[in-house]
Chain A
């Protein structure tokens, strides 16, 4: 089993549903996104293009974050998932130093602080974060907290440790796709097993010339990008002066 994801940039509409869905599924606190994007506007008016590349942990076969972690808190799990165990994390952030992709985040503060606050807008008339959280039975956490995340990680990671994408390992073990894949309205994310030549990911990688981020570093990422975000056509030309 070798999990991998193909991202079809032509299907991607750059909407960010994956980012929000991930934050939702994994109870990410404000400021942390496991799934994110790299955008770029190139050209000069009126010849301008906007580019968008969805990103997440690349679950590298040769993961520098795993190699460098002193306590094996960052480790390789089944299917090649680069997994993190916050209970072993000493907070040294060497994984952040080592990750060429910038997809690991450290919890600098207590997560979800909004839900601890007692301040109200209008006295006796509006709720507070703390009041909502306790009324819904989720003290200090968002009422929309996803408890299912808690099956393999603390549902919210505490202050002082790093966190990152797990390919939704808690869903994979129940036979479900990573939530960003399910939530993508455009079906731009295709997930599967590279070891299975019949899997959709294997087929797509065989069909298009995929590329991966910073391939020259030799990390062997498991996120493959195919096709182009911009479909633009142009009139045939040889150029000239």
Chain B
């Protein structure tokens, strides 16, 4: 028995399976299998023969963006139609493994409710209750409308009132998101990143100078201590971790901190159901134990000069007595935060027994350095989550897990180049326009958004709604948005309804008529990333980085256009017709085919050339810099993925991109960033922290520490804490029109098929008089949703847990109860208040609001 790799090898090209061969083999098999089978074998054959005669079947390379794992895939294409999906065996990241949600891409690309033509709004009124009354228009007319608006803005010196909103993207984004926005003359390219994961990047950046997603070396680890991530279900590298988990369990002990029994917690040794918002408290208590028990990893942290452990509960330590190796400020951390943070202290506030905290900390540290403290979104996408992010991640420093075998790793090097510069195409209008403040108000005193140490360095996506609605700093007159659905996916999404209603000309590029489209003046039918689009991605896992290529690989009987390349190219042409040719010249002058030097003649050539240009150093053997050696563009298209060199363990020790170059327990890097931000606003760090809702003052602000969670809603009126989490079959928020999503909703432990179920602990349910299956309303200080209740022991009492993903009132006939009118289930984001971890800019999703439940 061999694996199905007959059609995978890179150079094999297509394999033609003639129907006749099928018949032959099935007849032979029929004879073997007995009379029962041979008869049935004839029936479908007749149909297939009549319809197709001959079929071509081939596994074609692709990439999946159903979540941020960004796995390399292969798609089985028969007669131009995508039939199956599997992991691309050429990837060293996901290695041929494919999580369940990848298959659902088939139901997305062949979604019966897809938009087939550009459509134009005819109802000038905008609002949740206003039917847009869309009518079809040609691509030509649609692009004319867009070009006219851009010209008008530029002519009036209002180019900055143009805005680009980015949702799910590939690295082709720069063409639409960056260069087009800038060449038109606006600073407002707003990404979705802050409703994605910025809080998760904060801790690692301000300890070890890495702003990005870490890799976790599960196959070499001895202990996995995981904080609020659900890598077997939600995020990230789900395919790879699913493949590796069984072997990891052979070697490692696993402890999961999470208020609900997650899919990953179901496969762990210990479930630590802490009260939401107290992960930081557990982390510092564990750090306390590790230090007092003398279990820190000396080869990384160093030791007391005389070898005698002076970390004794409640006692300050003289910094001079300790000689650090690759870290900075361990004693100062102890003195500022850890010395009193005993497991008993943590037990009282976190609801986790001191004995368990101690046991986990000791076992974790005893297995050092091949251990990991794995940081997920749960503890950090909170109002004061930045410091929990640092606290949880800092444990990796204490045990030497950072950059170590079996520990936590950063990204491998990759060699994509992006696109040629466009400075020469910025005219005076553009130069002036881009100088304006961005619409999301980043960098203001109360929104430091300290991405990579820079005040206002990162986006604060959800704040843009307020910027637009309040016209602060100015009004937005035209916006293009693609593959986003902010009024559904951002907390307190209702605010976006209001903001979007205000934009006089809103263009939405999307596959489905979503909640966002409802407010658009023009909706453009987008390609599906996995099957119909040119692009490339970068992601890491298993100690490798891979760059999967996205290509159009199936027949497209409808005129969808690629968001990131085709549409900017076509708009550039339209602008040129109107006398502004900078964008078009940039496209034709800078995007020549790197092999032939030929300028792109149409949007299709442009797209492929652009992909070729950006990835040239990966596939052009003459320019090979590392990783897989690929022999030319055609071969790259067949393999579909490039892999980096393996991870160089410990290469970053004492060479980290922090101010000190060390792993900073006392974050000099954060100190500088905060001081700079304060200075920019003529104030001090304490004041910055105060307006940003943090508790820390003075030096404490620069070390990982616990802050009491900041939760909306009076506990008297709103007795339950709302726990949002992501579903196993969520393809972002875009699964709700797929039948498989509902048929298998209960793949999320505790959930119920065909329901949008809020999971309550039976104790709480009994107190509330709620039974399984009851229709309920969940009410928070900012909104309410309707859904069903289910009872489950896997939820911490006092919490109500519910998957994000349902509650669409648009998107499709299956997604909505009544399209445009009534949601199916409830959208968590309608009850989550718009609040932020302001240091990172991250929107707060977790431990953010209390709720009450009313039985309907």
Contacts and interface: CB of A to CB of B under 8 A. Distances in A.
- A and B, direct touch (CB closer than 8 Å): yes
B98 A50 contact: no
B36 A177 contact: no
Contact of A14 (B79, B136, B266): B266
Contact of A13 (B55, B85, B119, B242): B242
B839 to A, nearest CB: 32
A13 B100 CA distance: 11
Nearest to B136: A124
A15 B813 contact: no
B2 A231 contact: no
A120 B746 CA distance: 29
A151 B44 contact: yes
Interface stretch (B109-117, B203-211, B473-481): B109-117
A233 B57 CA distance: 48
Interface in A67-83: 72-73, 75-78, 81, 83
Nearest to A10: B246
B134 A231 contact: no
14 contacts: A10-B250, A16-B744, A20-B740, A122-B513, A124-B117, A125-B136, A127-B558, A147-B48, A152-B37, A169-B33, A177-B1, A185-B98, A231-B249, A232-B270
Interface in B261-276: 261, 263, 265-271, 273
Interface string B235-254: 00011001101110110011
Interface stretch (A36-44, A102-110, A206-214, A217-225): A36-44
B268 A153 contact: no
Contact of B744 (A8, A19, A117): A19
A187 interface: yes
A29 B797 CA distance: 39
Interface in A1-52: 8, 10-17, 19-21, 23-25, 30-31, 33, 39, 41, 43-46, 48-52
B99 interface: yes
B680 to A, nearest CB: 46
Contact of A185 (B36, B243, B763): B243
Interface stretch (B21-29, B278-286, B493-501, B621-629): B21-29
Most buried by A among B268, B273, B740, B750: B740
Nearest to B254: A231
B155 interface: no
B3 interface: yes
A58 B26 CA distance: 24
Nearest to B43: A154
A132 B115 CA distance: 11
In the A-B complex, the 9 residue pairs with the closest CB atoms: A11-B246, A150-B44, A185-B97, A129-B112, A50-B266, A17-B100, A173-B29, A185-B242, A16-B747
Contacts of A126: 113-116, 513
A176 B743 CA distance: 27
A15 B99 contact: yes
Contacts of A11: 245-247
Contacts of B749: 14, 39, 41, 50
Interface string A141-160: 01111111011111100000
B36 A15 contact: no
B689 interface: no
Contacts of A192: 1
Interface string B69-89: 000000000110111111100
B39 interface: yes
B796 interface: yes
A17 B247 CA distance: 19
A41 B84 contact: no
A185 B135 contact: no
Contacts of A177: 1, 3-4
B812 interface: yes
B54 to A, nearest CB: 12
Interface of B: 1-4, 6, 22, 25-26, 29-30, 32-34, 36-37, 39-41, 43-45, 47-48, 51-52, 55, 57, 78-79, 81-87, 97-100, 103-104, 106-107, 110, 112-117, 119, 134-136, 232-233, 238-239, 242-243, 245-247, 249-250, 253-254, 261, 263, 265-271, 273, 359, 513, 523, 555, 557-558, 728-729, 739-740, 743-744, 746-747, 749-750, 761, 763, 792-797, 812-813, 819
A53 interface: no
A238 interface: no
A198 interface: no
A155 B55 CA distance: 15
Given A15-B100, A44-B793, A83 B37 contact: yes
B793 A45 contact: yes
Nearest to A77: B33
A20 B103 contact: yes
Given A171-B4, A182-B3, A232-B270, 10 more contacts: A10-B250, A14-B263, A86-B40, A88-B36, A144-B107, A150-B47, A151-B29, A173-B29, A176-B4, A183-B103
Contacts of A171: 4
A85 B37 contact: yes
A62 interface: no
Contacts of B792: 41
Most A Cβ at <10 Å: residue of B26, B47, B87 = B26
A119 interface: yes
Contacts of A145: 83
Nearest to A87: B40
A30 B743 contact: yes
Contacts of B245: 11, 13, 186
Contact of B83 (A83, A146, A175): A146
Nearest to B41: A152
A60 interface: no
A187 B301 CA distance: 39
Contacts of B36: 72-73, 75, 77, 83, 85, 88
A87 B6 CA distance: 32
Given A20-B104, A46-B273, A8 B29 contact: no
Contacts of B104: 20
Q: Which of A30, A77, A120, A185 has the most chain B CB within a 10 Å cutoff?
A: A185
Interface residues of A, number: 97
A185 B87 contact: yes
B47 A125 contact: no
Name the residue in A48, A73, A136 with the highest tally of chain B Cβ atoms < 10 Å from its Cβ: A48
Nearest to A45: B793
Nearest to B739: A30
A177 to B, nearest CB: 6
B112 A117 contact: yes
A152 B100 CA distance: 26
Given A46-B271, A75-B36, A15 B57 contact: no
A201 B320 CA distance: 62
B112 A144 contact: no
Contacts of B57: 148
Contacts of A83: 33, 36-37
Q: Which of A41, A177, A183 neighbours the largest number of chain B CB atoms within 10 Å of its CB?
A: A183
B355 to A, nearest CB: 10
A48 B794 contact: yes
Contacts of B22: 148, 151
Given A15-B232, A24-B106, A144-B81, A152 B29 contact: yes
A185 B541 CA distance: 15
A8 B34 contact: no
Contacts of B134: 122, 125
A78 B750 CA distance: 40
A132 B135 CA distance: 19
Given A41-B261, A146-B83, A20 B100 contact: yes
A194 interface: no
Contact of A135 (B100, B523, B558): B558
Contacts of B242: 13, 15, 17, 185-186
B25 A174 contact: yes
The residue among B2, B115, B747 with the most chain A CB atoms within 10 A of its own CB is B747
B266 A49 contact: yes
Nearest to B797: A45
B100 A187 contact: no
